[in-house]
Amino acid sequence: MAANSKTVVYAALAGNLLVAATKGVAAALTGSSAMLSEAVHSLVDTGNEILLLYGMHRSHRRADAAHPFGYGREIYFWSFIVALLIFAVGAGVSVYEGITHIQAPEPIDRPWINYVVLGLALVFEGGSWWVALKAFRETKGDQSYLAAITNSKDPPKFMVLLEDTAALIGIVIALIGTWTSVTFHEPRFDGVASILIGCVLAAVAVFLARESKGLLIGERADPATHDGVVRIAEATPGVLRVNGLLTTQMSPNEIIGAMSLEFDDSLSLTELERLVSRMETEVRASYPQITSLFIKPQSPQIYDAARKRMAAQNQLGDPSL
C-alpha cells in the first residue's frame, strides 16, 4: 500500500513539473491572468508532492524513546500543511491575480499559445489523474468516492486524486476564460476565470484540511478492523466478555489498540498470560496493521464505572485529562 501511494505521488510530481513549466512559459508570452493562475497552481502542486514524499519518508522512522509509537503521524501533519498551502498560495494567488486583471484588463496576446499549452496540460494532468484514480479504485471497494475519501487513512492517495481533479477543472476554466476573452474582446473574462480557479482550489483545500485534521488529531481504525478484533477476542476460550475496544490510527498502515476483557476467574496467572499472548498473535496475523495491542482484564462493572467517570470528567473539562 505504501509503495502504491508513492507511485501515485511520483506520477503527480512528474506531471506537475511538466505542466508548471509549459504554463509558466505560456503566461509570460500571452499575459493571460488565468494562465498565470494555472502556472502557480501547478507549481504549488509540485511543491505539495515533494512535501508528501517528505512526510512519507519521515513517517517510516523507527520508534525511539521520545516517540515510543513511532513517527507515523508525520504523514498526516504534512498532508495538513499541503492543504494549507493549496488554500493560502494556490487559491490566494489565483484570486489576487484575477482581481488585478479585472481592475486593469489587458488583452491576451497570441491566444493560440494558451490553447496549445492547455491542451498539453490536459494530457499531462490527465495521465497523473488516471494513475491516482486507478490506485484509489483498488482500495475503494463498494463505497462511493466521497465515502471512500472520508474513510481513507491514506491521505496521499486521495489528496493527489483531488489535486489532479481540481487541476483538470482549472484547465477547463482557463480554456473557457481564454476563449471568451478573445471571442468577445473582453479581457476581464480572463480575470473572472482566474478567480473561479481560485475558488475551486479553496474548496478543495478546505475539504483536504478537514480530512487531514481528523487523522492528525486521532481517528479510530476502520469499522471492519475494529469488529474483526472484537470477534477474535470473543472467540478466544477463557474470554467471557469484550467490554470495549479503543483504536487509533497512527499512520495508513499502523494502528494501536487497547481492549478491556472479562476473563474466566478460574484461569491461573500463567494461563492468562498464555491466552493473551495467543490472542495477540492471532490478531496480528489477521490484522498486521495493528502494531500494538494492550489488553486489560476488567469486570464489566469496573469497566462501566471507569467509562462513566471519564465521561463526567470530560463534561466538566477536567484539565488533568
Mean pLDDT over all residues of the chain? 85
Contact in structure between 276 and 311 (CB atoms under 8 Å): no
Q: Give me the pLDDT at residue 2, please.
A: 55
Does residue 176 have a pLDDT over 70?
yes
pTM given for the model: 0.79
Percent of the chain with pLDDT over 70: 96
Distance CA 313, CA 317 (A): 6
Does residue 226 have a pLDDT over 90?
yes
More confident residue, 251 or 29: 251
pLDDT in tens, 136-157: 888 887 888 888 888 888 888 8
Percent of the chain with pLDDT over 90: 24
Does residue 316 have a pLDDT over 70?
no
Hunting for cell 494501536 — which residue is that?
256
Distance CA 58, CA 82 (A): 15
Q: What is the DSSP string of 3-32?
A: HHHHHHHHHHHHHHHHHHHHHHHHHHHH--
Does residue 275 have a pLDDT over 60?
yes
Hunting for cell 478543495 — which residue is that?
204
CA 300, distance to chain mean position in Å, is: 38
Percent helix, strand, coil in the chain (nearest 5)?
70, 10, 20
pLDDT in tens, 86-107: 888 888 888 888 898 888 887 7
Does residue 20 have a pLDDT over 50?
yes
Q: Give me the pLDDT at residue 317, please.
A: 55
Q: Give me the pLDDT at residue 315, please.
A: 67
> What are the residues facing 262 on neighbouring strands?
241
Three-class secondary structure of residue 138 per DSSP: helix
Residue (of 230, 211, 68) closest to 153 by Cα position: 211
More confident residue, 166 or 27: 166
